[in-house]
Structure 1
């Protein structure tokens, strides 16, 4: 089989890939729908910051629990159950927006339910991929999933921006509900052996996961650096970006959709490269590449025209994908499979815990200080932290595991 598509020879991965592709198509439009649903109710950056913060707080609160559950139960079942919860919560959002009954507190509550469900899905997703394919195919599998994510990110925000601007955000939410329904059925086709029964307590499982996480310097150092990096990125990009788009004609809502699509295009190009070019030093190159996120933050602050920001976002998107592929492959190769979801949940917790503070802080700072200066300073801090983390010896030297694990069942 063609090297870049080698993971597709595994039957269970094919079903997972199809299900994940559909949810990515629907989910690529959801962030714009939620953002402008909130701004339709209350055109203030603080209102949007509250809703985004509630999602992240709930996500962070349940991540560790989600990791233990995903290691104990069939991971496909965990994902399916959470999709049912998402269908109910997003469907309720759409109903409230359609009927004019949406309020910021209600959208924040429903967003927190989405965040809790996502806290179980994310470690389950991270843990299930090595079960579906071989070690030698992990980079290709991750790159293929990222390819679909980036492809949908290109078209999704543009379509969502047009639909939101003409018909309203509720219609986009209904597309997401339909996508989740189809994905649930497709995930039922995956055949994996049940997880081994554990005699250990929930607390002991937590401690084991913590030991596996903290005993690896490369893991906790990168995770802790992303505590700050994500707070800056999500706060500046997800709050300042839509706010500027909604209030500055030089960018505009449709222009912001094009910017997000350009970021997706950068990811798309890099995923194609990652399907063919092996990363020998995945963390070294990953941290160097992720520092490019500082570029669109700077342009957004100094020159908020859609074309200029889109070019910078393209470069940043490529950098984000190079890091994501390198990080996921390293984690999947270096962490034992029966502990992977727990360890991944600790990584996610460390990386995400400061995002609520970042979104709240930027929501307040945008109204209190000069937005241009705020974004430029934030970009400078981002670049320094990313490049500094790259120089940690275990990050700089991390390589790949060459030997392959036994093939998963393909029948």
Structure 2
């Protein structure tokens, strides 16, 4: 085995570092947008319904188009998809920023809706392509370290950027923050345009045939579709409990808003902790470890449903964030190691579609039922539901037995895949 072919060789690290920088900058841009978008809509005369309409339009567009994005990511050079997608994000947010600065009277809720639909469509193409690039850059035996390092950078960005965005919005205005976000997306384009990777042969099948091929590959792996099916239930239940019911429960308490802010910070800190643990802990049965650590994920929902005292809430949020981060790293590693590179985009899009499709319904049902029977009982339903669908994965043979690739497989994967940036 030559040095250039060895998974231990640093030949893949420089291109991957460029990828991490580009994706981190793009994530920072998204964080800047998220922290000011609702306030910008309200400042231009919108109300709560208007904010919900803008957010729903973005989520709905992304959910509907992400299967198409997965097919595109497996048919077209992924670097090109990511660069063009971030260019669209830069153009959309830059246009909104300029309008808010130069012609605020012409900005309406429908202007934001149009921008949300555009950015949702761009994100639907970018996300599967981002995932696919990892397996083109990193050998299988180094994927967990790479995923953990990437997630560490992204989590730090998600913690730091919202505070910075809020400060910039208060000092300079929302238009300037959107322009800063556009600059971040544009910087991502510049960084990743210089990423040099060998492009593997792409399938020449029609789009529908390619989608069917991705579905067949997904369906042929019980451990994967079982985990995706579990996530299609667990993710909406978690978001309903965490984003909707949690603030409702604390809203009636003294300094409930402050306590919730600390709780969210503890969860983010837990995700950083999980990334650090994943850098060192490399279980052989990666999917079994994924499911077992995920059992701790709904712990804060149980605390909120009983006695949401701040110390217990903070500890539970820290543990939950770490467990979720470990589960994400382990699953992404298993997927990238076990799925052929040319199918990664389609497999990723199917998983993401399943996890987001029922989220709007979960919000509506959780809020409606909580108004009738109280937030506490609904929180217990969310908590126990997540535990049930997670425990149901343990009997799946692929979950229990899936191991790691050998060093020789990592060397074969790396050969002729990466050139120095």
Is 2:11–2:418's contact at 8 Å kept on the other side of the alignment?
Answer: no
Q: Is 1:259 the counterpart of 2:267 in the alignment? A: no
Q: Deviation string for 1:148-191 (max 9, x for gaps)?
A: 01222332344445556777655544432221111110001101
Q: Deviation string for 1:240-275 (max 9, x for gaps)?
A: 4566788866232x6544433322211111211211
Residues 6-405 of structure 1 aligned to structure 2 (within 5 Å): 9-37=12-40, 44=48, 49-94=52-97, 99=104, 106-160=111-165, 172-241=177-246, 250-252=255-257, 256-303=260-307, 308-365=312-369, 369-402=373-406, 403-404=409-410, 405=413
SS at match of 1:280: coil
Change (3 A) 1:80 1:248: farther
Q: Distance in 1 between matches of 2:30 and 2:384?
A: 31
Structure 1: which 5+ runs fail to align?
Answer: none
Q: Please report the TM-score for the alignment, with normalisation by the length of structure 2.
A: 0.85
Is 1:56–1:355's contact at 8 Å kept on the other side of the alignment?
Answer: no
Q: Distance in 2 between matches of 1:12 and 1:147?
A: 18
Q: Deviation string for 1:92-116 (max 9, x for gaps)?
A: 5556766377665554443333222
Shift of 1:211: 0.7
Shift of 1:366: 5.2
- Greater displacement, 299-308 / 19-28: 299-308
Change (3 A) 1:12 1:231: same
Q: Distance in 2 between matches of 1:302 and 1:156?
A: 32
SS at match of 2:298: helix
Change (3 A) 1:68 1:322: same
Q: What is the number of residues matched between the two proteins?
A: 407
Shift of 1:27: 2.9
Change (3 A) 1:371 1:165: farther
Which structure has the greater CA radius of gyration?
2
When the two chains are superposed, the root-mean-square deviation of aligned CA atoms in Å is 3.2
Q: Distance in 1 between matches of 2:53 and 2:215?
A: 30
Shift of 1:296: 2.1
Q: Distance in 1 between matches of 2:391 and 2:134?
A: 29
Q: Distance in 1 between matches of 2:369 and 2:93?
A: 30
Q: Distance in 2 between matches of 1:108 and 1:309?
A: 36
Structure 2: which 5+ runs fail to align?
Answer: 1-7
Is 1:282–1:323's contact at 8 Å kept on the other side of the alignment?
Answer: no
SS at match of 1:10: helix
Q: Distance in 1 between matches of 2:313 and 2:28?
A: 23
Q: Distance in 2 between matches of 1:170 and 1:379?
A: 40
